[in-house]
């Protein structure tokens, strides 16, 4: 009887942590779909995040394929138990919060995979990880995806600008804003189908590991509903810091370019999931924005992009290290006490990042301010201008302050 109660409590904590991860996944990735629309003024910031949240919700319900467990093919499932899943989620959440604080669009999926792999390594050693699966399913696509997206977006942007050059300015910006909303909506929808599924898979995995579900079961409907809600809520909150970097930090974005970038992202994401090749939504979206800058032959801040790439490389090892540490602590203390302690530690980390972020607040009001080299806005604490502006002039670029940004 006591054992049942114990498993119940642990499972509840794991499920809660998984939903918390889903929430961070939501706000971390709002920018993938909506950064360009917000930057060009095609949508007001609040409407953009609401639309994206609604479409993520729809997306989460659209795809009824068995939620692919994120660990299958990457980790020997024998090594998976509740503590490993829990520690992996802690690694993913911590890395997502850190990169969010610095306004870096990094892959939430890589953070989760890194966390689970780190925890599995700590639990069962290197034979627990299928290294070939890791390289062929995660690392190689991760390296290629930004380049594929960059290429498609560069060609698309070049074509769009060439074809529409003698369209009157007003028609052009109005028309492409509509197109931009359409293509950004597709990215949001695709995001809901992909990323909400991943957390559904993790929770299902936890239910199977705890013996509550038979192995090979589909995600129960309460799992689908709660994951859809968690990711939409996160998206609706809006990761303004990441949105700001993607919309203003990489390059100046006009509406034709934003449309081309989102169309490239949407098609790359949808095609890759169709052909069973898992690309990171975030890396695709970032590559597309860079490519659209290249295609328009405007200034691209490669230094900002370079910092992102370094964060992408560090994502899996770093989340893995946190995952491994979380496992070591939870397992070392043992039982519920260990999991509760690690849970409290993650809550403490989360609230620390939240408090830190209040000091350099990025809000719907200042998200479009000129880029002074960091995610911080030049106008201090959340009361900048930039509200309601449409097509943007090229912002004055101040020297990069490396200490602030990374």
Partner 1 sequence: MNAWVNWDALWKICLIGLICGAGLPAIFAIGLKALSLPANGASAVRAADDDDRIYFGNIWGAMAAAVCFAIVLAAIGLGIYWIVSS
Q: Which residues lie across from 251 on neighbouring strands?
A: 300
Binding residue for partner 1 (CB under 8 A) from 5, 8, 12, 182? 182
- Determine the interface stretch with partner 1 among 30-38, 92-100, 255-263, 331-339 (rule: CB under 8 A): 255-263
State CA 78 to chain mean position distance: 28
Three-class DSSP category at 385:
coil
Three-class DSSP category at 275:
coil
* Nearest distance, CB of residue 255 and partner 1, angstroms: 11
322-351 binders of partner 1 (CB under 8 A): none
* Nearest distance, CB of residue 59 and partner 1, angstroms: 7
Residue of 239, 260, 237, 292 lying closest to 184 (CA atoms): 260
- Determine the interface stretch with partner 1 among 16-24, 73-81, 151-159, 354-362 (rule: CB under 8 A): 151-159
* Nearest distance, CB of residue 221 and partner 1, angstroms: 18
- The CA–CA distances, whole Å, from 107 to 96, 113, 150, 253 equal 8, 10, 16, 22
By the rule CB under 8 A, 224 interacts with partner 1: no
Binding residue for partner 1 (CB under 8 A) from 6, 125, 127, 135? 135
What mask, x for binding partner 1 by CB under 8 A, covers residues 54 to 93? -----x--xx-x----------------------------
By the rule CB under 8 A, 148 interacts with partner 1: yes
Structure tokens at 353: 């990042």
* Nearest distance, CB of residue 184 and partner 1, angstroms: 12
Q: 12 or 178: whose CB is closer to partner 1? A: 178
266-285 binders of partner 1 (CB under 8 A): 266-268, 270-277
Cβ neighbours, 10 Å, residue 306: 10
Structure tokens at 172: 């052009």
With 0-12 CB in 10 A as exposed, 13-18 as middle and 19+ as buried, what is 218?
Answer: middle
* Nearest distance, CB of residue 15 and partner 1, angstroms: 26
* Nearest distance, CB of residue 259 and partner 1, angstroms: 6
Structure tokens at 337: 């006490």
Q: Which helix (H) or strand (E) holds 114?
A: helix 108-124
Q: 120 or 265: whose CB is closer to partner 1? A: 265
Q: 250 or 268: whose CB is closer to partner 1? A: 268
DSSP character string of 178-215: HHHHHHHHHHHHHHHHHHHHHHHHHHHHHHHHTTSS-T
* Nearest distance, CB of residue 131 and partner 1, angstroms: 11
Residue partners of 36: CB distance under 8 A and separation at least 6: 42, 180, 184, 246, 247, 253, 257, 258, 261, 262, 289, 292
Q: 28 or 177: whose CB is closer to partner 1? A: 177
Report, in angstroms and rounded to the nearest whole number, the Rg of the chain calculated over CA atoms.
21
Residues making contact with partner 1 (CB under 8 A): 59, 62-63, 65, 132, 135-136, 140, 144, 148, 151-153, 155-157, 159-160, 163-164, 166-168, 170-176, 179, 182-183, 186, 189-190, 193, 256, 259-260, 263-268, 270-277
């Amino acid at each position: 009887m006591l054992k049942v109660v114990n498993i119940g409590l642990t499972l509840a904590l794991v499920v809660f942590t998984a939903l918390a991860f889903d929430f961070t996944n939501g706000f971390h990735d709002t920018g993938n779909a909506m950064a360009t629309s917000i930057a060009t003024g095609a949508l007001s910031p609040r409407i953009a995040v609401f639309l994206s949240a609604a479409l993520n919700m729809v997306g989460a319900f659209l795809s009824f394929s068995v939620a692919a467990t994120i660990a299958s093919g990457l980790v020997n499932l024998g090594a998976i138990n509740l503590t490993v899943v829990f520690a992996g989620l802690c690694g993913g959440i911590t890395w997502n919060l850190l990169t969010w604080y610095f306004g870096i669009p990094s892959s939430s999926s890589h953070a989760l995979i890194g966390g689970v792999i780190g925890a599995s390594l700590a639990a069962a050693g290197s034979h627990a990880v299928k290294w070939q699966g890791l390289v062929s399913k995660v690392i190689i696509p991760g390296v290629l995806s930004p380049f594929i997206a960059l290429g498609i977006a560069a060609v698309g942007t070049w074509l769009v600008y060439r074809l529409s050059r003698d369209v009157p300015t007003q028609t052009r910006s109005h028309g492409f804003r509509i197109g931009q909303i359409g293509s950004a909506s597709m990215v949001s929808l695709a995001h809901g189908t992909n990323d909400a599924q991943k957390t559904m898979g993790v929770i299902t995995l936890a239910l199977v590991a705890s013996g509550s579900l038979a192995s090979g079961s589909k995600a129960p409907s309460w799992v689908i509903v709660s994951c859809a809600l968690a990711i939409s809520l996160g998206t609706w909150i809006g990761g303004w810091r990441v949105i700001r970097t993607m919309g203003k930090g990489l390059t100046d974005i006009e509406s034709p370019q934003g449309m081309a970038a989102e169309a490239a992202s949407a098609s790359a994401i949808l095609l890759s999931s169709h052909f069973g090749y898992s690309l990171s939504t975030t890396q695709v979206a970032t590559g597309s924005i860079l490519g659209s800058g290249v295609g328009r032959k405007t200034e691209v801040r490669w230094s900002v992009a370079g910092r992102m790439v370094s964060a992408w490389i560090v994502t899996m090892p770093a989340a893995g290290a946190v995952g491994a540490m979380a496992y070591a602590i939870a397992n070392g203390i043992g039982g519920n006490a260990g999991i509760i302690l690690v849970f409290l530690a993650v809550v403490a980390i989360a609230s620390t990042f939240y408090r830190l972020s209040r000091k350099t607040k990025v809000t719907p009001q200042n998200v479009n301010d000129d880029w002074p080299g960091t995610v911080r806005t030049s106008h201090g604490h959340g009361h900048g201008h930039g509200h309601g502006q449409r097509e943007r002039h090229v912002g004055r670029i101040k020297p990069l302050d490396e200490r602030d940004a990374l």
